[in-house]
Copies of this chain bind each other. A is one copy, B any other.
Amino acid sequence: MAYELYYWPTIQGRGEFVRLALEAAGADYADVARASAAEGRGVPALLRFLSGHGNGEGVRCPPFAPPFLKHGKLVVGQTAAILLYLGPRLGLVGKSEAARLWTHQLQLTLADMVTEVHDTHHPIASSLYYEDQKPEALRRAADFRKTRLPKFLAWFEAVLESNPAGGARGGPYLVGGRLSYADLSLFQLVQGLQYAFPAAMKRALKKAPRVVALHASVAQRPRIAAYLNSERRIAFNEDGIFRHYPELDG
């Protein structure tokens, strides 16, 4: 049964963390909002779910916001919850409860950082344009570069360092000696930060060699490399979470 991912069609955004998991596993999935509205898909299909009316039936569990995943009758929203569901099904998480919880905890910390990245360009309101909150964005981005970015990267570096099996073939890995969805998400976070804050990231990554190595190893995985080179990978742009505004890179 194919997975149906619902996310905005013109940005990577939070949906990309789910796309990467599906792609890394070679899963059968549809990126619904990017398909044709004439065939009942496209953005109208996404909006029907948000309004509480999925496929014509009422939806018991309406998501608060995209991304959300439909799999059979199940509809699940919140990026980290989607990956919690997909992890065991796609072979992208360890089997023990401890491994699953730890991988999920890593993902939730990644999600916190993603929110902070978003707020560097939208510190006041998502409902306003960047241009309407630029002075505040300059202040918030300065703190992000100075305080938050190094703190988060140092933590992921410490996690990689403390994983005794992390140096297994094809790694480094965050959890055990195998690829997990958290590795894919950390790859995406680094990729996005390099796009948004190239100067700050160049400095910050000097102290995070294991994070650099993880990013490189994920990029080289055959399915990921093929995906990144395909038309399915949307380019970074200034509508998404990772935006390159040179004035915010300091």
A-side residues, CB < 8 A to B, are 52, 58, 60-64, 74, 76-78, 80-81, 84-85, 98, 101-102, 104-105, 108-109, 112, 115, 119, 123-125, 127-128, 133, 136, 139-140, 143, 147, 152, 155, 158-159, 162-163
Contact = CB atoms under 8 A, between A and B. Distances in A.
Nearest to A102: B61
B81 A105 contact: yes
Contact of A123 (B124, B155, B159): B124
Nearest to A113: B64
B62 A159 contact: yes
A146 to B, nearest CB: 9
Copies of this chain, whole number? 2
A58 B108 CA distance: 22
A62 B139 CA distance: 30
Contacts of A112: 64, 115
Contact of A140 (B64, B85, B123, B147): B123
14 contacts: A52-B158, A61-B105, A76-B102, A77-B109, A80-B108, A81-B104, A84-B101, A85-B101, A119-B123, A124-B139, A125-B139, A125-B147, A128-B143, A136-B136
A205 B246 CA distance: 42
A78 B106 CA distance: 9
